[in-house]
Homo-oligomer: A and B are copies of this chain.
Amino acid sequence: MAEQRHYAALDRVLELVVLINKDMTESLAKDGLTPSRTTLLWLLRSTGPSTQRALADGLGVSARTVTGLVDGLEATGFVVRQPHPTDRRALLVSFTEHGAAVVAEMERQHGEFADLLFGGMPEDRFESLYAGLGEIVDRLRSVGLTFTPTEEPS
């Protein structure tokens, strides 16, 4: 029965999910970061200095949550809040030097991790795996799961 094999494959996927979650959470903790705060940092890196509102939308969480995350990141010296140049209601969040350095280091580790997973894998083997991963991600997407926060039409 194919079902049995599929079941086993799902177990591998789930194990992967658990393992990676665990690994990331732990390595983050060493930098004094939590998963959510890191996600914010990651977003900030790709957007540049942003208002908290923009971060909330980008993360798909409430404005209040961002206030809390930025509170933490500011207290630990990763980011700073500055007044917005034109909108006096808003605040611009940007990296401190330390924050920028930590994010750069994380990027390096990201590459290292990719190497751990795929480094030295025979070309054809890697390609099938890559394609297979693409397919199951597509299948998940086709059922309505989306990576980015679900934005609804009003």
A interface list, Cβ under 8 A from B: 2-3, 5-10, 12-23, 110-111, 113-119, 121, 125-126, 128-137, 139-141, 143, 145, 147
Contact = CB atoms under 8 A, between A and B. Distances in A.
B126 A139 contact: no
A23 B140 contact: yes
B137 A19 contact: yes
Given A20-B13, A23-B140, A140-B16, A125 B126 contact: no
Contact of A136 (B8, B14, B117, B140): B117
Copies of this protein, total: 2
24 contacts: A3-B114, A5-B118, A6-B117, A6-B126, A7-B110, A7-B114, A8-B130, A9-B117, A10-B118, A12-B133, A12-B137, A13-B16, A14-B20, A16-B17, A17-B17, A18-B147, A23-B140, A116-B143, A117-B136, A125-B135, A126-B132, A128-B129, A129-B129, A132-B133
A75 to B, nearest CB: 27
B117 A15 contact: no
Contacts of A8: 130
A16 B133 contact: yes
A3 B129 contact: no
Nearest to A26: B145
B140 A20 contact: yes
Given A7-B111, A19-B140, A13 B135 contact: no
